[in-house]
Structure 1
C-alpha cells in the first residue's frame, strides 16, 4: 500500500488534535443525578446516584463522614454541558430522550415522543412504555399539623417516595376501576390539586422548620386526612389502601446553627436526615441543607 501526501496530512492533523487534549480528560468527571433512600440493614439511608462522563453510574452512601467539593453551577446529566437553570437536563437532551414522556402527559400528545392517551398510555419510547404502564398510587401526606400535600408514585416504591419527602403520616389510594396507570393517576392528582386546593409540593424553607419543631410535626391532623379520604372516594372513585404512620422512621432533630439551601463544601458528619433535609456538622457548626439542590452538581474533588 502506497502512503500518499493526503494520508500524511491526516495523521498530522490527528496528532495535532490529540496534543490539544487535556491530560485530565483521560479521567472521569463525576456528577450527582439525584438522592434516593436505600435499605441498609433495617434502616433506610440516603444515597447519591452518581454518573460520570465515561458512562459509569453508581449509587453511593451519603451518611456518616462525607468530604467533597461541588461546583457552583449545574450540568446536564446526559451531555454534561453547563446549564443556566438548576435542572437535570438541557432542552436538547430532554427532547432526544424518553424523559420527555412526563411532558407528554402535562402538555398533551405530540410533545417530544408523546402520542399517548389514558386508554393507550404508551409512546414509541421503550422507557416511556415501561414507566407509563406501571401501576401508580396516589397519596395524601402530612407535614406538621397544617400542611397536607397530594402526590403520586409508582406503586412498588410508594413508601420510599414518602420517606424521600419526609412525610410524617400518609394515606395511599387506588382507583376502584383498576385504571391505575401513570396517566390516569397523574390526571387525578391535577384535579385534586385544582378542585380541593391541596398542595402538590412543599419547599425546603417550609419543611425544615416543621421538622425542627418535631413534636408538633408528629401530631399531624389525621382527622382532616380522613375527611379528604371520604371525599376522594365520592368524587374520584379512589379507595384508601394503606394508612401509614412514618414518624418512627425518623430520629430526633438536632440543634441547628443555620439553614443553607445551596452547599458547596461537605467535609464533616451527616448528623440527621429526613426527606430532602439533611444536617451536616462541619467547622463547628450544624448546617441544615437541601438534598434536592445537589442534583446536577459536578464533584470537583474529594477532600482529604
Structure 2
C-alpha cells in the first residue's frame, strides 16, 4: 500500500489517498482517528485517475519528472498569454496570515477564495481586490509581493501552530491595505506547546490545518507535513522508529 496523495480539510474531511493493487482508497484524518502504519521505501507516487492508480517505481519522490505536472501559474507575474481557461475567470487578490506574524499575498479564482485559504491553513486572511482575470491578479500580486512575499513554507506554519495571530500586527496590516473583507479561521487543534515536526503515520489524529496533520504518539505531539508522506509504502503495525519526545511526555 502506498500513499499517493492527500486532501486538506475544507468542504470535505482531511484525508490520505492510499493505493493498493491499482485501486485508490481514502483514509480520513478526523480528530480521534487512530493510525498505525510503518513507513517503508519511498518512490514516485505514479498517477491517479479517479479511483485508479498507475504505479511508478522511479526513485524520485513524491513524483518523478514523468509524473510531475508543471503548473504554468507557479511563478507567473502577469507577463503571460493567459495559457489556461481559468485565467479568464474573475480572480481575487488576498493576504493570508499565519500565527504569530507571517503573511503572504496570493491570488485565486474568486469562487475558490475561502477554499484556497483553508487549503493553506491560514489563521487570518484579507480579501484585497477582485479583478477581471488571472493576468491582472498576478500583476497586482507581484507588486504587493515585493513588500510582503508570496509564499510561506510549512516549517514556518508549524512553528506557529500553538500560537495566535498578533492582533496589533494584523490590525495595522489591514489598515495599510484596506481590505474588502476579512476572515478568521479556527482549526480546533487546541495546542499548549509547539508540536515537533516529524514524518510518521502512527498515532491519534488531533486535527489538521492545511496540509499539516497533528498526531499524538506516546504522549508527544507531532506535526506531519502530509506531502512528505506521499510516495511512502505503508505496512500495518505502527512505526518502530525512535521518535523525539516532547517534555510533556514526561509529565
Q: TM-score range by the shorter chain?
A: 0.7 to 0.9
Corresponding position of 2:188:
250
1:227-255 Cα distance to aligned partner (Å, 9 max, x none): 4424xxxxxxxxx4421122x44341144
Corresponding position of 2:172:
224
CA distance in 1, matches of 2:223, 2:133: 37
CA distance in 1, matches of 2:167, 2:214: 23
Corresponding position of 2:65:
91
Corresponding position of 2:72:
102
CA distance in 2, matches of 1:193, 1:262: 31
Corresponding position of 1:260:
197
* Alignment root-mean-square deviation, CA: 3.2
| 2:9 is the alignment partner of 1:32 | no
Q: Indicate which of 30, 45, 48 corresponds to 2:16.
A: 48
Tell me how far 1:166 sits from its aligned partner.
Answer: 2.3
CA distance in 1, matches of 2:21, 2:142: 37
- For structure 1, list consecutive stretches of 5 or more residues without a partner in the other structure: 1-28, 110-115, 123-127, 231-239
Q: Indicate which of 261, 265, 276 corresponds to 2:211.
A: 276
Q: TM-score, normalised by structure 1?
A: 0.62
Tell me how far 1:37 sits from its aligned partner.
Answer: 1.4
CA distance in 1, matches of 2:77, 2:57: 26
DSSP-derived class of the 1:212 partner: coil
CA distance in 2, matches of 1:105, 1:274: 24
CA distance in 1, matches of 2:77, 2:140: 15
CA distance in 2, matches of 1:152, 1:71: 37
Q: Which has the higher helix share?
A: 1
Q: TM-score, normalised by structure 2?
A: 0.73
Corresponding position of 1:9:
none
Question: Who wins on radius of gyration, i.e. which is larger?
Answer: 1
Number of aligned residue pairs: give it.
Answer: 229
Contact 1:165 1:276 in 2 (8 A): yes
CA distance in 2, matches of 1:148, 1:107: 19
| 2:226 is the alignment partner of 1:291 | yes
Q: Indicate which of 81, 84, 99 corresponds to 2:57.
A: 81
How does 1:151-166 map onto structure 2 within 5 Å?
151-166=106-121
Tell me how far 1:270 sits from its aligned partner.
Answer: 0.7
